[in-house]
């Protein structure tokens, strides 16, 4: 069973982890990549670095995927590499994703899609995925939101997000922590992204500590923004179910099912 945790160093990562690493201004991308490749060799993993062609001094990287030059999606590419790694006798695949900011809203949407794809990929295949964000290139609120779809965090000042949504087994997504007005927008975006790809999203809410009115509105809006979708929340407490009913959301037009 995957469980969220904060890591002090890259040495602590395990297969199946999906790690969000935020680099300080003083951290160097090349150093980070070099140690990642070295750890991969140590553990018998195939290493893939995703990002724009790295600058000089990156000759240690055997396999670099530039998202801008991929023929198809990043997910398809890493799935291919995972299958190859298996055939080639590696223990597993180890992906280091240097995530670069974009300026279009569309890019943000792609970012959520990509992160949720990688989360599912890591959980389902046992591949290790580390997503590296440079603190200098991203605003803190985006970094905080992106942290919500990584069950594992790494960095000199790792900040545990208020809530996390991460893949659990083949069937569902665990939601833990606190979804209130501060996190409702991110929560809604995550749900919309998941619902764009599948008719039913199963949320395991046993570790969901708190869901406020803004979080419930985000859930209701996401559930009805595309036709023929359904969200199932398992493990909800009686307060969440009561507030959902009281809010008037428990109607057929909002395809959400809540169970204890």
Partner 1 sequence: MTFSAPSSAAPGAGYRHELYPYSGRDAFVEGALGFIQDALDGGEAVVVAVPQDKASLLRAEIRDEDAVRYVDTAGVAHHPGRLIAAWQEWIQEYTSQGRPVRGIGESPWDTVRTPAEAEELRYHEWLLNKAFARGPAWWLLCPYDIAHDKAALTEMARCHPELRQDGCTMPCEDYDPHAPYRFTPLTDPCDPYEEFAYSSGDLPALREKIAACAELHGLTGRRLRELHLAATEVATNSIRHGGGHGVLRTWNEEHRLVCEFRDAGYIEDPLVGRRRPDARQVGGRGMWLVHQLCDLVEIRSAPDEGTRIRLHTELPE
Q: Specify the DSSP class assigned to residue 68.
A: G
Q: How far is the CB of 200 from partner 1 (least distance, A)?
A: 21
Q: How far is the CB of 44 from partner 1 (least distance, A)?
A: 42
Measure the CA–CA gap between 188 and 233, rounded to whole angstroms: 14
Measure the CA–CA gap between 215 and 221, rounded to whole angstroms: 10
154 sits in which H/E element: strand 152-155
| Cβ contacts of 112 within 8 Å, gap of 6 or more | 149, 189, 190, 193
Q: Do 173 and 203 touch, CB atoms closer than 8 A?
A: yes
Q: How far is the CB of 195 from partner 1 (least distance, A)?
A: 18
> Is residue 6 involved in binding partner 1 (CB under 8 A)?
no
> Is residue 144 involved in binding partner 1 (CB under 8 A)?
no
> Is residue 178 involved in binding partner 1 (CB under 8 A)?
yes
> Is residue 60 involved in binding partner 1 (CB under 8 A)?
no
User: Which range of residues in 104-112, 123-131, 194-202, 206-214 is near partner 1 by CB under 8 A?
Assistant: 206-214
Q: Helix crossing, 140-147 with 184-195: angle to 10°?
A: 50
Choose which of 41, 83, 226, 246 interacts with partner 1 (CB under 8 A): 246
Q: Do 191 and 219 touch, CB atoms closer than 8 A?
A: yes
User: Which range of residues in 12-20, 24-32, 122-130, 178-186 is near partner 1 by CB under 8 A?
Assistant: 178-186
Which chain residues interact with partner 1 by CB under 8 A?
Answer: 162, 178, 180-182, 210, 212-214, 216-217, 220, 237-239, 242-243, 246-249, 251, 253-254
């Amino acid at each position: 069973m995957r469980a969220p945790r904060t890591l002090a160093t890259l040495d602590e990562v395990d297969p199946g982890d999906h790690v969000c690493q935020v680099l300080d201004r003083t951290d160097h991308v090349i150093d980070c990549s070099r140690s990642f490749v070295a750890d991969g060799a140590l553990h018998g993993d195939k290493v893939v670095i995703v990002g724009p062609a790295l600058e000089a001094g990156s000759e240690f990287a055997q396999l670099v995927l530039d998202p801008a030059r991929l023929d198809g999606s990043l997910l398809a590419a890493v799935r291919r590499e995972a299958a190859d790694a298996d055939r080639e006798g590696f223990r597993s695949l180890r992906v280091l994703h240097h995530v670069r900011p974009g300026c279009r809203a569309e890019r943000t949407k792609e970012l959520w899609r990509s992160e949720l794809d990688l989360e599912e990929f890591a959980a389902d295949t046992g591949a290790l995925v580390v997503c590296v964000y440079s603190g200098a290139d991203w605003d803190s609120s985006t970094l905080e939101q992106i942290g919500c779809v990584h069950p594992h965090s790494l960095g000199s000042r790792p900040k545990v997000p208020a809530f996390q949504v991460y893949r659990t087994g083949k069937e569902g997504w665990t939601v833990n922590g606190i979804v209130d007005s501060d996190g409702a927008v991110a929560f809604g975006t995550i749900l919309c992204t998941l619902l764009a790809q599948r008719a039913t999203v199963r949320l395991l809410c046993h570790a969901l500590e708190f869901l406020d009115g803004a979080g419930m509105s985000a859930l209701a809006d996401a559930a009805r923004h595309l036709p023929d979708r359904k969200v199932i929340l398992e493990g909800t407490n009686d307060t969440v179910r009561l507030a959902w009913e009281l809010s008037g959301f428990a109607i057929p037009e909002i395809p959400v099912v809540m169970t204890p």
